[in-house]
Structure 1
Amino acid sequence: MYPTVYTLWHNPRIVPLLYTPLVVVEKMQGGADLMTPGLQRGPPFPKRATKGAIVAVASLEAPTVPMAVGECTIDVSALGKTQGTKGIAVSTFHWAGDELWSWSSTGKAGSEPPGILEGWDDDNGDEASLAERTAAVDLDDEDGGVTLDATPTQRSEAEKSQGVQGEDAPSNNDFIDVLEDKELTTKEIDEAFKNAFLYGVRYHMDHNKGHPSYGLDFPLSQSNVNNMLVQPFLPTYTPTRTASLQIKKTSWKNLKKFIKYLDKQQIVKCKDRDGNEVVVLDIDFKDRQVESFVPYRLPKKDTPAAASANGKPAAPLSAESSVGQKLKLVSVLRPKEKLAPILGASKADPRGLYTPAELKQLLIAYVEAENLIDPKNKRLIRINPQLADALLASSAADNAALSSGVMPRDSLAERMVAAASPFHAIIRNDADIADAKPKAGAPPKIQITLETRSGNKTVTKVHGLELYYISPQPLADELRKTCAGSTSVDKLQGSSPKAPVMEVMVQGPQKDAIMKALEKRGVHKNWVDIVDKTKGKKK
């Protein structure tokens, strides 16, 4: 006898329960099996999850609601680790949403899964036999429904230890490893926005219990709904997911239609205002979806993976906020191969990195060692074959130097610097240049662009933040409050899909506000380019 998900919703713990991220559960609801690397919250795993045992599977986001039933193809209970392993752990044969789930003798469609269930979050009695637990199972429930008036319960200690209890929980590295850094489907984006809204409402309810409307001042404008209840609670775990989670990529395409959808769901009450937008008049804080919502782990705001402009990973951002950091931009030079004879006089590394002043000193050491300083005018250097080959070209000044046999020391030093390739390093706080890995080329600049969109609306964009240890999402969150307007973080067009450079967009002409935010993060104004496309000129 195999239990259905309906049976499991009514009868907790009659089979072992395994966990995996929601994205994996969604694939299982399409008929996929649960692979071993997808197992979470273990080891240790339930002792009854042996080879051939029937088990239930729930998501980390809703850990008290079994969503699939399958058979263990391996001894899951004996696993010592899951990362780096291969193969199927559970062969799925039933899930919420399949034909069995939707069948009913009354002709009714299957009911939606509850948001939370009591009993499955209690590990007591896990070793009870299946026969003992199924003796009282009631199989006469024709419509398969379950009561939805259960109040949310506290998470189990095991769940807390796995780092999935709300926004302040410690990071769960295994969870992030399972999430693919890929573009989300429209359905996944829709679900993320709805869950973010529910999360935002629950957050205000939990943190403003003494306020009649839980700290929300109705009516709420579209931008307030987005800024206060949606954007801070989106699961932006990776750069590509961040780029996917934009309102324009949902099936609603804009905030107005999204709020209208929430109104149809009877979660909010809204009305049109000025023809172009809607305002939220009220939120049903006792709505079933709000009360049963289980918070998920939010991403760390200051520790996203950074990416460089050339598509290669940049240095990971510190857990420390970029606000208040001290930055130093260091420009160095790598001598070209033709300078090797000059560097050899000082036994300097011909492939080393030097400042312009250091290169000039190496040139002086060479001319002194070769006795090339003109005795009558110490500012003149006699040209020998090595200097001519390494530093002189075919310009008029160079030809004149070859003809006269001498050249001013400063002019020769300028040619020494010009004959080296530029490199740069951005040093943070008390880091040393010796610990940095300088990159080829001139130092990149953060670019702020003002442009006109949708006729006469001005937006301000900024990109190139990651190399300066600035996380785009926290900056966007700050600018949203500072500028009292909507912001978004999207992938810069043309950047590498594997390591995308992110671009922050702010509504309105906000270059001064962005500059002030960058200066708080240690960025000097000389490191920023401002392009004003609304006037067709560069500042």
Structure 2
Amino acid sequence: MFAKAFRVKSNTAVKGSDRRKLRADVAATFPTLSAEQLSKVVPNKEELNVIKLYTHKGDAVTVYANSRNPALFEVEKTLYPTVYTLWAHPDLLPAFTTWPPVLHKLVGGADLMLPGVVVPSAGLPQIDPGTLCAITLVGNRAPVAVGVSTMSTVEMLAAGMKGKGFTVLHTYMDQLWSFGDKTCLPTILSLEGEPGTEHAEEEEQDDKSEEGKVSENSLPVDSSLPTDIGNMSLNETMEGAEVGGNEEPSEDGAAESVEEGNLDDPQVLEDSRSPQEQMDALLHQCFFHSLKCKVKKSELPLLTSTFLRNYMFSCCPKGQQIDIKKSSYKKFSKFLQLMQQQKILQVKELSKGVESIVDVDWRHVSIRSFVVPEIASSESPAQDSKGADGEQLYHPPEIIPLYGVSSKMAPLFQESGYKKGSTLSSSEVRSAVINYVKINELVEETNKNFVKVDPILCDCLLNKSEQNEISKLKWDDLLSRVCDKKMKKKKSWFLYAAFPYPKEAQSGLQSPSLSSPHNRHPVRCLDQLQPFHQVTFAGHEPIVRKGNIDPIDITIAQRSSNKKVTIIKNLELYGLDPQAVANILQQKVQASATVTTLPGTKDRAQVQIQGNQINHLAKLLLEDYQIHRKYIQGLEKAPKTGRKK
């Protein structure tokens, strides 16, 4: 739940009445707590804050912090203790033991699988499904995770200790732990008489050799431990890089990942570094990888934002994601400034406020000595167009207006092979109309600018009041009558190109001037022909939808205290992920952004970000995503950028 960074909504002190209510709720949830222990979890007078936050998945969580450290967190009106609280009260919850290397998987967001649970000689604690439990490491009673059991103890044993055992909610070294003072995992030795100690004593009696004895400085070890792990000290077992070189704890692994049995995974080895150091290393790796394998000299100058999004993100290993804020640089511009000081590249501000990479020294020793990771070099060329987490890089869709043949217009298009329900492009509509006139020889012999109106043209194109008065139509009037009269003003931007005059009209004695604006007729969604549109995304089959495509709608709304918010709708119609757009905007403008369900829909979402951010949004949509301006509505509401007097 807290594997990734969360967003804090509020942080306030707990009132006296709320403190008393919280103490009563804690006492009811954890009845084993004594009055003295309860006063330590929920102090009477010491500082106690309530923090409301949203996880990376959007879950609302309430956290109660005691002396800065999170003590409890509440999800859907259920209280859970944090590892800080469990270290002070290790017997608060039923405890299950796992192998030290599994901790790294749990911190990464995996759940605890039953093959990773150590079964002591005294047996497992008796629990029911849905029981809140603590997870500890071999040789240390200090809990490292809090989880909810998915089955009872009897069901676990009946299943042969296979399958998912616990849904992990919070772990040592996750983001909730980092929100406190980041106290390291304490060492709480097993009590006398506990399963580990008893088994060690039995082993001593059965095997009277020196190899089977437990020294005074070593910890009690379960017999199921591999020899190399059993002889390690607690500090050594906490290092994932030093565990399991010769033997794995279980054949099936301990977490949900298929590969988690492989304890030599480089990602596990790197976990010994701090998160900031890991992000710095990832940033450098993706930077040099993109310069060595992706960027070409012909592509310079290159926008720094494009370089980050289209090149560095695509070099990011699967399962990892670049987050500049989690690095020591905090801003991408500072990172590039350092690279420029090392004379690896040169960055200039070609236009006001927009930086571009104008030169790269590919002979620099840092680039030449960089070794491309084996995983990246073994990927197929088709994966070069993929971004972080294997997602395909965005390409703007191709949008084509289409027209569906209605029952009223079907006779006019029947001779061209179209029937009711067929969808046509504008050029196909024009060809079908001209083809009908040719087949039925409706062009006037004396003046080829006119077309005689037969019964089918009369029924399809003329109003009832005109049917007894009009016997012929000009070519431009004929094609214009096929068009939607309601859309003449709205679609005037799409002109003569799709409906040029036929050669018959151009060869007439009184052929109209094609350059005159009065003789240009817009191709519109047809009145009699139903409007459709075709959207084609890169690498996918075309999608045909009824009606005109809705533009990306940008509006400014007023909230309480005269605050403005920018609301963006219809991003999904253009293949854009609302959550991804919200994350990018949030990083660019440093303002809170949320994604909510669009009212009246089930599968559509809208992005809301604080302030009038249309200028930043226009740059993102027009320049980065390269969406045509005609498909964006509301850009004119952008704030003026002039200096304030």
Q: TM-score range by the shorter chain?
A: 0.3 to 0.5
User: Whose radius of gyration is greater, 1 or 2?
Assistant: 2
Query: When the two structures are superposed, what TM-score results if normalisation uses the length of structure 2?
Result: 0.39
Query: When the two structures are superposed, what TM-score results if normalisation uses the length of structure 1?
Result: 0.46
Q: Greater RCO between the two (CA within 8 Å, min separation 6)?
A: 1
